[in-house]
Amino acid sequence: MKELHLYNTLNRQKMLFEPLDPAEVKLYTCGPTVYNFAHIGNLRTYIFEDFLRRTLEFNGYQVNHVMNITDVGHLTSDADEGEDKMLKGAKREKKTVWEIAKFYEDAFLADMGNLNLLKPHKKPKATDHIQEMIDQIKQLEENGLTYVADGNVYFDTSKFPDYGKLAQLEKQELQAGARIKVDKNKKNPQDFALWFTKSKFEDQEMQWDSPWGKGYPGWHIECSAMSVRYLGNQIDIHCGGIDHIPVHHTNEIAQAEGATNVKPWVLYWMHGNFLVLKDKEKMAKSGDNFLTLQALVEKGYDPLDYRYFCLQSHYRKELTFSWEGMDAAKTGLRRLKEKVCRLSKDQTPEDTETFPRPQKSFTSAINDDLNMPEALAATWKLVDDPNISDTEKLVIILEFDKVLGLKLNEQKDVCIPENIQKLIIERNEARNKKDWKESDKLRDEIEEEGFVVKDGPEGTEVIMK
């Protein structure tokens, strides 16, 4: 295995990756709250996590990947305030919270498939693991880290000396109320709810029996409880968006380490930066700048065009979204596929056994904290290198694509032979002259060669059957 370096949010530096067990990397990624469609800003984080997993596997690691599905409502603020997201979705669409959860979970999984994201090995739902959450709260209670106020169970951050180490809160000199709204029930402003029995919402549907009364869990407890359930008391990597650093992931550490007394719970914390608009406004579900993957498709983009778009920026940098950028990504991906298509002519499976593993520049890029822009540049350099045979290029670039995930071996939409391209041009000229008889004749010739002709308002598209 080659050396892999990853940026660890915990100590704010790149570190040599050394897993707990070389035979299995334990990876936990925060999943969606399924009360609405994921927007493309959310999806950027999942794409970064996919690059991470593919890079680990490219380096020979066996990865055990767990991603939660948050299908029990957490509040619209991370700080135990605001609206219940699941309830908000149910009211918006006049459905039950259970119907909302199922619909948007299916929609999210469809987005994952369309973006060619590897499936997690386990996708535990919060509602299926209430007992694990209760058990972890009970353990925290036994360890003297909780208190009950007005029927709700809170984590006492003053009893956990390392609280805030991930967010480096001690360096921020936080004042009461600066980060979160002060709750009269809390002993300390940074304390957070583990279990609610006094709901703010009279029509709360999702409730369960517990030692503290009927109610529902706080948001943060689900991830630490399910991570311990499926990956044990210590894991290698935990991922999410940078917005999770100051509250959600900080509270997860307190819960997991406070319950198990095993430190560190996570060896490497990794966080993806925001997708922003030209005015640097963050994309959010509550705003007017909410763009879904389907919205891109409706504008004529393939979901993999967005994946290519994300490849062009490092995951720890803000990425500015623009339609011009999407157009460039669409063109870039199509050009790359066309080049791979030309390389693939007359190649046979036997050719693939005689060439070495991928080139050093690509591996060095991905192993330098997932430097995907450099990896993409190395891919283009390989494609255009006149000193490497087409057969070898094809073998190597398909190895690269195990990380890029662009489906470069699927060429139906671009692999059009020159004789067919000539017929397409002739047919377009006949259509422009309104010579429909000649147009139909040429269409038949094209389809006899194994292609499908689709005429639309933006022109003619020809794809392989």
Predicted pLDDT at 175: 38
Rounded average pLDDT over 457-465: 66
E-strand spans in 69-161?
A: 146-149, 152-155
* Average pLDDT in the chain: 87
Write the CB contacts of 172 (distance below 8 Å, at least 6 apart in sequence).
Answer: none
Of 54-63, 80-89, 134-143, 406-415, the poorest mean pLDDT is in 80-89
Q: How many CA atoms lie within 13 A of 435 on its CB side?
A: 12
The model's pLDDT over 261-286, given as tens digits with 9 standing for 90+, comes to: 999 999 999 999 999 988 767 777 65
Instruction: Give Cα 333 to chain centroid, integer Å.
Output: 20
In this prediction the pTM is 0.86
Q: What is the pLDDT of residues 384-413, one digit of tens each?
A: 999 898 889 999 999 999 999 999 988 655
**What is the structure's pLDDT at 76?**
44
Query: Of 219 and 201, which is predicted with more confidence?
Result: 219
Give the integer Cα–Cα distance in Å for 32 and 67. Answer: 9
**φ, ψ of residue 248 in degrees (nearest 5):** -60, -55
Mean pLDDT of 428-451: 86
User: What are 9's two structure tokens?
Assistant: 């949010």
CA distance 192 to 194: 7
pLDDT of residue 179: 45
317 DSSP assignment: S
Mean pLDDT throughout 428-443? 89
pLDDT, residue 43, reads 98
- What does the pLDDT read at residue 367? 98
pLDDT at 206: 82
Q: In what order do the strands lie in the sheet with 152-155?
A: 146-149, 152-155, 192-196, 216-217
Is residue 198 within 8 A of residue 154, CB to CB? The reply is no
Give me the pLDDT at residue 346, please.
52
Mean pLDDT of 454-465: 69
Q: What is the pLDDT of residues 105-123, one digit of tens each?
A: 999 999 999 999 999 999 9
Cα distance between residue 185 and residue 149, in whole Å = 6
- Tens digits of per-residue pLDDT, 297-315? 999 999 999 999 999 999 9
CA dist list (Å): 289 to 233, 279, 292, 399, 454: 39, 11, 10, 37, 33
Name the helix (H) or strand (E) containing 55: helix 40-58
Give the integer Cα–Cα distance in Å for 417 and 415. 7
Omega before residue 264 within 30° of 0, cis: yes
Per-residue pLDDT reduced to its tens digit, 159-212: 999 999 998 876 554 433 344 456 788 999 999 999 999 765 555 678 899 999
